[in-house]
Chain A
Amino acid sequence: MQTELLMAGFGGQGILFLGDLVARTAMAQGMHVTYMPTYGVAMRGGTANCVVIMSDEPIGSPVMNEPDVALILNQQSFDKFQPVIKKGGMIVANSAMVSPDTFTRNNDLKLVMTSATDISREVTGREQSTNMAALGAWLATDDTLSIETVEETLRANLHPSKHALLEPNIETIRAGMAAVTSAATTA
């Protein structure tokens, strides 16, 4: 079983941090993993993306092929990557920046809209944890990674200078999960 996860958004939205966290969590769960960051000319305000491949077998190509899942935080990335997601796959999109009207693959992809930016603002008072809310939305729909290992990994790897952000980030992940779970219940 191999999962190819694409994460994409604006530079500054914490895409590479998110990918690093996912990769470390998968490694902590004993999986094979590769993390490939955006490669090219990048700047703040430009787009950033990374691909993490998680597998119970050794991984061949570490390069983006056909992502099974995409966590997408802005419209440009949504437009760019929607066509390349594997049939039967899923996109988790940030509703603050992505319009569901632009979703054209109703037939073969699942779309989970999450108000990641709003969740981040509500929980932490800032938008910086949008990436964590989106991660929560994915964790709620997929059992590749466990929330417990994500938390442990975040605790073990967050830079000491950012420790004040540890609990707010964990709360945001849990709120991101809860939002999806409650939406599913009401539907």
Chain B
Amino acid sequence: MNATATTAEKRTGTPTLMQGNIALAEGAVQAGLRCYFGYPITPQNQIPEYLSARLPETGGVFVQAESELASINMVLGAAATGARVMTSSSGPGISLMQEGISFLAGDQLPCVIANIMRSGPGLGGIKPTQGDYYQATRGGGHGDYHTLVLAPANAQEMFDLTYKAFDLADTYRNPVLILADAILGQMKEPVIPEPPYPRLELDKDWALTGANNRPARNIRSMYLEGDDQEQHNYVLQEKYDRVRQEVPMWEQMDTDDADFVVVAFGTSARIASSAVRLARAEGLRVGLFRPITLFPLPEEALREMAAKVNGLLVVEMNLGQMVHDVRAILGPDKPVSFHGRPGGGVPTVREILEKIKENMV
């Protein structure tokens, strides 16, 4: 399934100039967000600031919790009632939430978590990075689980993918992570802040809504009897297999006749797209492949595209994370080179163009 990339110009409606963080927050409101729990951290503070005013207007609940640990466990409690809930944070805050995210995955509870990445490790800085790719795509907490991971690359996608994240969370009863960075959060672009399609309304026959003459329901991640825990893990894995089949999203630019393709997500993909355009202007047959879902990565589409090219260059704002997944997917025979800048460094268009030329031979 290839959901094409969404930018404001591909949608009908009246665009308004919106900051990425605000577009993300409004996308959540339009998706029917009922409860937000969070704790402040730069560079995502516009999300709670906006929702603190906006959610009460829609009858929703906004809570600034005392910590990230409290936030994620409030998310767990509210999600168990079947409400659409979210939190947002950045690097260190997301790390603090990992225990709760593991519980949400084990409990099979839907929620949306936005990580507007700041440069780490540790407290790090507030500049943009993609250093949390591993944490996001490996689950992040303890146990054999995944969160779905969506990587927007423009303000319209901050809106649209957040809107979609709630449907995916409900469909698969699983936490969905929005993985963006300080550039995508702080930048303003035209956005059509209207739902692209009606939101999914599922009957949540697992939600804790008060037993009221029906048999009691039980949401848990701990199974002590026999091989129940093992069986529970098979249930989760079967779900991730479905996710791998049904959810992959990506965008391709100029790949049809390409000899060489750059693979990048989010902000890196935006910068790489400018480099690809410059390369094309010089007559080089270069394309861009942008995964929109990072878990699941669009493996089949990547393989199919890569079969037609001589080599690839993965560009990331870290020192090499997604590149290892790309190499694992494509196997040892396909040359995959890498260019990255860590800790708040942002690759330049020229830098990427040079790397393309260097590795294209």
Contacts and interface: CB of A to CB of B under 8 A. Distances in A.
B346 to A, nearest CB: 6
B189 A35 contact: yes
Interface in B157-197: 182-183, 186-190
Given A32-B9, A36-B186, A39-B182, A60 B273 contact: yes
Interface string B339-355: 00000001011100000
A20 B274 contact: no
Contacts of B270: 60-63
Interface residues of B, number: 28
B277 interface: yes
Contacts of A65: 274, 348-350
B15 interface: yes
Contact of A62 (B183, B190, B275): B183
Contacts of A41: 126
B271 A35 contact: no
Contacts of B64: none
B7 interface: yes
Interface in A17-49: 20, 23-24, 27, 32-37, 39-41
A12 interface: no
Contacts of B128: 39
B349 A35 contact: no
Contacts, number: 66
Given A27-B17, A65-B274, A35 B183 contact: no
A34 B20 CA distance: 11
A139 B271 CA distance: 29
A39 B346 CA distance: 12
A58 interface: yes
Contact of A34 (B127, B188, B273): B188
Nearest to A157: B17
Contacts of B126: 39-41
A63 B348 CA distance: 8
A20 B189 CA distance: 10
Interface in B328-343: none
Interface in B1-56: 7, 9, 15, 17, 43
What bracket does the count of chain A residues touching chain B fall in?
A: 10 to 19
Contact of A27 (B190, B276, B277): B190
B339 to A, nearest CB: 14
Contacts of B127: 39-40
Residue of B127, B186, B188 contacting most chain A CB atoms (<10 Å): B188
B7 A36 contact: no
Nearest to B277: A60
Interface string A50-90: 00000000101111010000000000000000000000000
Nearest to B43: A39
A60 B187 contact: no
Nearest to B155: A34
A23 B349 CA distance: 22
A60 B267 CA distance: 9
B183 A36 contact: yes
B187 A36 contact: yes
Contacts of A34: 187-189
B281 to A, nearest CB: 12
A101 to B, nearest CB: 31
Contacts of B272: 60
Contacts of B275: 60
B321 to A, nearest CB: 21
B190 A61 contact: no
Interface string B122-134: 0000111000000
Contacts of A20: 17, 188
A157 B126 CA distance: 29
B9 A33 contact: no
A60 B271 contact: yes
Contacts of B188: 20, 23, 34-35, 37
A33 B187 CA distance: 11
A39 B188 CA distance: 13
B273 A39 contact: no
Interface string B251-288: 00000000000000001001111111100000000000
Given A23-B188, A62-B189, A63-B183, A35 B17 contact: yes
A33 B274 contact: no
The 8 A-B residue pairs with the shortest CB-CB distance, nearest first, are A60-B274, A60-B273, A35-B188, A61-B271, A61-B274, A36-B187, A24-B17, A27-B190
24 contacts: A20-B188, A23-B188, A27-B15, A27-B17, A33-B190, A34-B188, A35-B189, A36-B183, A37-B187, A37-B188, A39-B183, A39-B186, A40-B127, A41-B126, A60-B270, A60-B272, A60-B349, A61-B270, A62-B183, A62-B270, A63-B270, A63-B346, A65-B274, A65-B348
